[in-house]
Amino acid sequence: MAKENVAQSPLERTTLASLDQKLAMAKRCSHEGVIAGAKAAVVATIATAIPTLASVRMLPWARANLNHTAQALIISTVAGAAYFIVADKTVLATARKNSFNNISNI
């Protein structure tokens, strides 16, 4: 089927300007996700480090079984998980919001 016989809808039409706009929007979405993820990682680090370090000082079991490596692993695992979860949710929420804005502008 020849391309000139097929009518293109506004959703199927892609121009260089629209591709640049989509790229800029994707960069902004990912940047917002990185910022939100970093903030969540900082909060999670503090929220995990305080009870972990306190329990090692106060609880005999923790003092005997959680060396420095285990403490660092606990804290960094929580911080990493918080970063990726919040960054992913932020990117998806921003993309969803932008897709609804683009549909309403057509």
Evaluate whether residue 22 is within a structural domain.
no
- Residue 99, number of CB atoms within 10 A of its CB: 11
Question: How far is the C-alpha of 61 from the C-alpha of 55, rounded, in Å?
Answer: 9
The total number of structural domains in the chain stands at 1
Question: How far is the C-alpha of 66 from the C-alpha of 13, rounded, in Å?
Answer: 59
Evaluate whether residue 94 is within a structural domain.
yes
Evaluate whether residue 26 is within a structural domain.
no
Structural domain for 82, as ranges: 31-99
In this prediction the pTM is 0.74
Evaluate whether residue 36 is within a structural domain.
yes
Evaluate whether residue 40 is within a structural domain.
yes
Evaluate whether residue 6 is within a structural domain.
no
Q: pLDDT by residue for the chain (106 residues), tens digit each?
A: 455 555 555 555 667 777 888 888 889 889 999 999 999 999 999 999 999 999 999 999 999 999 999 999 999 999 999 999 999 999 999 988 887 776 655 5
- Residue 75, number of CB atoms within 10 A of its CB: 19
**Angle made by CA atoms 69, 78, 51, in degrees to the nearest 5:** 70
Q: How far is CA 37 from CA 25, 71, 82, 85, in A?
A: 18, 22, 7, 8
